[in-house]
């Protein structure tokens, strides 16, 4: 790719500023997404952060992933939060005393010494591990990095593909909106409406001390998040009996497939053929198209597994999640062409009126340019789209998205998310994956 112009500002080069964010968010063994709002280690944040950290320090990037993997549960799940014991309990909700992982998660093999949540996040980890290895293969081999992480990543994928195939069609389901990572996406409105809200006074949100209420999920959203998580905990985090919420999400599954391709490469590097994994990734891609592709919309949609009287149905909401599968190498050409058309059309405005890629259809009834995953543009999804465009030969569009990414990251102070029309900063400043993915795209 063409060398991106590196925007500079009064505070020094963009690279130095991004590195400074990662430095101040580093705890010694991992990186927090943001000091104030998210003071612990988050699963998919750490994967994106490792992808950027490899440009600064491949050994720190390895440590980032290994710290997360050290909190893996016996059943293979990688928890969505690993709690830092030195952070006060009231700094983030839900805190360790809500999840009670080492007690409630005992049957599922939760670790005894570290406190975690009991839900998961998108499986970006094997992809991150492979990219981290590629940044310095000599160091990685000398430290036995891939040999150490491979069995853990394989167990993680096994958990998702077996215990989480709640729809029975071969894809993984998320059982909580926090698992998919786009917490208050309009995609969850219909399945969440079947969840009885927990009493408002049964918990205290900590996020509103750091973020504007209009930028965050609503109280009613939180009441439902709390109900779902508490019920899962009270089932000992078992996936046999099902709760009220199960969704097959295109981005979550596309990341699993991309990571399965990465695991195939890792297996090959470790002396195996990787063929079985590559074949599985190809097969899963076909299943993804079969179950979630909507040709009329020209994008992937979410499947509400318990919708339509538990026979399942595609949800009509159009979120950026439905464009993320562009990342995959084995999609039919008709699908990749339609995805690019949809991304560049009026709904997502890529290369047109929108900055980066909005999290939700600009023309959708639930669009809200400020409220978190209901419209604002996020940097991790832009990074995934940039990769997808480049993979499928859309070089000019990928270059333009990368330039927009770098400009917006610089001007917003590495914001958590931005207004999809103006690029104005929203949410936390000095956000981990925004800084990390900036470093990656500058490279």
Active site residues: 183, 416
Residue 252 Ramachandran class (φ > 0 left, ψ -120 to 50 alpha, else beta): alpha
Scanning 178-186, 241-249, 294-302, 358-366 for contacts with ligand 9WN by CB under 6 A, the matching segment is 178-186
- Smaller CB separation from ligand 9WN, 252 or 293: 252
Quick check: bond before 94 cis, omega within 30? yes
Scanning 154-162, 175-183, 280-288, 353-361 for contacts with ligand 9WN by CB under 6 A, the matching segment is 175-183
Among 42, 99, 145, 367, binds ligand 9WN (CB under 6 A): 42
Q: Based on the number of CB atoms within 10 Å of its own CB, is 16 exposed (0-12), middle (13-18) or buried (19 or more)?
A: exposed
Q: In 3D, which of 82, 105, 410 has the Cα closest to residue 237?
A: 105
Please tell me the number of Cα atoms within 13 Å of 220 on its side-chain side.
Answer: 7
For residues 292 and 251, is the Cβ–Cβ distance under 8 A?
no
Cβ 255 to ligand 9WN shortest distance, Å: 12
Among 36, 154, 189, 207, binds ligand 9WN (CB under 6 A): 207
Please report whether residue 64 would count as binding ligand 9WN according to CB under 6 A.
no
Looking at residue 78, the DSSP 8-state letter turns out to be P
Looking at residue 26, the DSSP 8-state letter turns out to be B
Scanning 42-50, 149-157, 280-288, 345-353 for contacts with ligand 9WN by CB under 6 A, the matching segment is 42-50
- Smaller CB separation from ligand 9WN, 37 or 410: 37
Q: Which of residues 323-362 bind ligand 9WN (CB under 6 A)?
A: none
Written as one string, the DSSP assignment of 1-13 is -PPPP--EETTEE
Scanning 8-16, 40-48, 343-351, 391-399 for contacts with ligand 9WN by CB under 6 A, the matching segment is 40-48
- Smaller CB separation from ligand 9WN, 340 or 428: 428
Q: Which of residues 80-109 bind ligand 9WN (CB under 6 A)?
A: 80
Please report whether residue 383 would count as binding ligand 9WN according to CB under 6 A.
no
Tell me how far apart the terminal alpha carbons of the chain are, to the nearest angstrom: 10
Position of minimal CB gap to ligand 9WN: 33
Distances (CA, A) of 358 to 44, 230, 350: 19, 31, 8
3-class secondary structure for 34-77?
ECCCECCEEHHHHHHHHHHHCCCCHHHHHHHHHHHHCCCCCCCC
For residues 154 and 282, is the Cβ–Cβ distance under 8 A?
no
Among 183, 215, 361, 394, binds ligand 9WN (CB under 6 A): 183
- Smaller CB separation from ligand 9WN, 150 or 431: 431
Among 14, 18, 30, 45, binds ligand 9WN (CB under 6 A): 45
Question: In degrees rounded to 5, what are phi and psi of residue 299?
Answer: -160, 170
Among 26, 38, 159, 417, binds ligand 9WN (CB under 6 A): 38
Instruction: Give the number of residues in contact with ligand 9WN, rule: CB under 6 A.
Output: 10
Q: How many CB atoms lie within 10 A of CB 363?
A: 12
Please report whether residue 414 would count as binding ligand 9WN according to CB under 6 A.
no
Cβ 222 to ligand 9WN shortest distance, Å: 9
Q: How many CB atoms lie within 10 A of CB 147?
A: 14
CA–CA gap between residue 117 and residue 237 (Å, rounded): 10
Q: Which residues make up the interface to ligand 9WN (CB under 6 A)? A: 33, 38, 42, 44-45, 80, 178, 181, 183, 207
């Amino acid at each position: 790719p063409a060398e991106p112009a590196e925007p500079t500002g009064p505070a020094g080069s963009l690279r130095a500023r991004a590195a400074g964010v990662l430095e101040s968010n580093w705890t010694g063994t991992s990186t927090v997404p943001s000091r104030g709002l998210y003071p612990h280690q988050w699963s998919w944040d750490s994967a994106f952060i490792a992808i950027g950290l490899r440009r600064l320090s491949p050994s720190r990037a390895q440590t980032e992933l290994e710290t997360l993997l050290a909190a893996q549960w016996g059943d293979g799940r990688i928890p969505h939060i690993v709690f830092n014991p030195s952070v006060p309990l009231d700094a983030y909700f839900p805190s360790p005393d809500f999840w009670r992982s080492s007690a409630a998660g005992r049957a599922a093999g939760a670790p005894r010494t570290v406190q975690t949540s009991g839900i998961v996040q998108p499986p970006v980890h094997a992809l991150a591990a492979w990219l981290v290895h590629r940044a310095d293969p000599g160091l990685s081999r000398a430290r036995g990095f891939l040999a150490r992480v491979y069995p853990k990543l394989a167990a993680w994928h096994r958990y998702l593909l077996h215990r989480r195939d709640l729809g029975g069609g071969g894809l993984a389901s998320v059982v909580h909106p926090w698992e998919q990572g786009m917490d208050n996406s309009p995609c969850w409105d219909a399945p969440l409406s079947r969840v009885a809200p927990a009493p408002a006074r049964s918990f205290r949100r900590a996020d509103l001390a750091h973020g504007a209420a209009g930028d965050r999920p609503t109280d009613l959203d939180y009441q439902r998040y709390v109900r779902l998580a508490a019920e899962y905990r009270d089932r000992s985090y078992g996936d046999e009996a099902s709760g009220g919420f199960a969704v097959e999400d295109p981005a979550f599954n596309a990341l699993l497939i991309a990571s399965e391709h990465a695991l195939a490469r890792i297996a090959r590097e470790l002396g195996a053929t990787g063929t079985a994994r590559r074949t599985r990734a190809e097969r899963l891609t076909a299943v993804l198209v079969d179950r979630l592709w909507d040709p009329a919309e020209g994008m992937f949609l979410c499947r509400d597994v318990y919708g339509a009287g538990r026979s399942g149905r595609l949800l009509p909401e159009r979120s950026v999640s439905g464009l993320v599968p562009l990342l995959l190498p084995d999609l039919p050409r008709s699908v990749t062409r339609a995805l690019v058309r949809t991304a560049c059309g009026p709904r997502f405005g890529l290369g047109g009126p929108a900055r980066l890629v909005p999290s939700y259809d600009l023309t959708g009834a639930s669009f809200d340019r400020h409220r978190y995953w209901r419209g604002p543009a996020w940097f991790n999804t832009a990074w995934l789209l940039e990769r997808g465009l480049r993979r499928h030969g859309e070089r000019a569009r990928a270059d333009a998205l990368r330039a927009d990414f770098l400009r917006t990251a610089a001007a917003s102070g590495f914001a958590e998310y931005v207004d999809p029309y103006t690029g104005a900063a929203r949410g936390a400043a000095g956000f981990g994956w925004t800084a990390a993915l900036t470093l990656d795209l500058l490279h």
